[in-house]
Amino acid sequence: MKISLAADHGGFELKDNIRTYLEGQGHQVTDYGVHSADSVDYPDYASKAAGDVASGRADRALLFCGSGIGMAISANKFKGVRAAVGTSPELVKLSRQHNNANAMALGGRFTAPAAAREMVDLFLETPFEGGRHEKRVEKIAALEANL
Ligand code: RB5
């Protein structure tokens, strides 16, 4: 899979951990940084990875900040991007099955590396169920006219 990663200073350590994990699995990873604890503004980095999903350059985006929240809010401003915050394996699974999420944000200050890896696996491997969820996801896309 083509996966774009981006982090701010609150998420870069977890992002680096996940980059190593994904590269070990043979994914094609683009890492937009950051690479240090120097303070930056998360929308500047969310835009790079979410932009790749919006343009089709990436299949998925993984975003990392302190809480995951700012990255998800920012990514959801991009057409075609459906970003969820990864808070538990069950909810990550549902974000794929019901919402066809194509971006996931994780909170580097709240998520242990092993838990993050488990949620990343579920995010990448769980299929969208379609069916009754299809028209709801189409209705999300229709809301983009309000942006
Ligand atoms: C940065 O201190 C922090 O606000 C950011 O990483 C993120 O948690 C925002 O949602």
Mean pLDDT, range 116-140, rounded to an integer: 98
Ligand 1 atom 5 nearest Cα:
66
Question: How much is the average pLDDT of 95-105?
Answer: 99
Q: What is the pLDDT of residue 11?
A: 98
Rounded to the nearest integer, the mean pLDDT of the chain is: 98
Q: Of 13, 34, 42, which is best to mutate to test ligand 1, by the most ligand atoms within 8 angstroms of its C-beta? A: 42
Supply 23's token pair: 């590269």
Stretch 36-55: mean pLDDT: 98
Cβ within 8 Å of residue 97, ≥6 positions away = 126, 127, 128, 129, 133
- Helix, coil or strand: residue 134: helix
- Which amino acid residue places its CA nearest to atom 3 of ligand 1? 66
Active centre residues (catalytic): 65, 98
Q: Do 14 and 64 form a contact (C-beta atoms < 8 A)?
A: yes
What pTM was computed for the model? 0.98
Is residue 106 over pLDDT 90?
A: yes
Give tens-digit pLDDT for 5-28. 999 999 999 999 999 999 999 999
CB proximity list for 19: less than 8 A, separation 6 or greater: 5, 29, 31
Cis check for the bond before 29: say yes or no (omega within 30 of 0).
Answer: no
The fraction of the chain above a pLDDT of 70, given in percent, is 100
Alpha helices in the chain (DSSP H): 12-24, 42-55, 69-75, 89-97, 113-125, 132-143
The pLDDT confidence band at residue 147, using thresholds 50, 70 and 90, is: confident
Q: What phi, psi does 30 have (nearest 5°)?
A: -110, 125
Atom of ligand 1 nearest to the CA of 8: 6
Angstrom CA distances, 87 to 27, 72, 115, stand at: 23, 12, 9
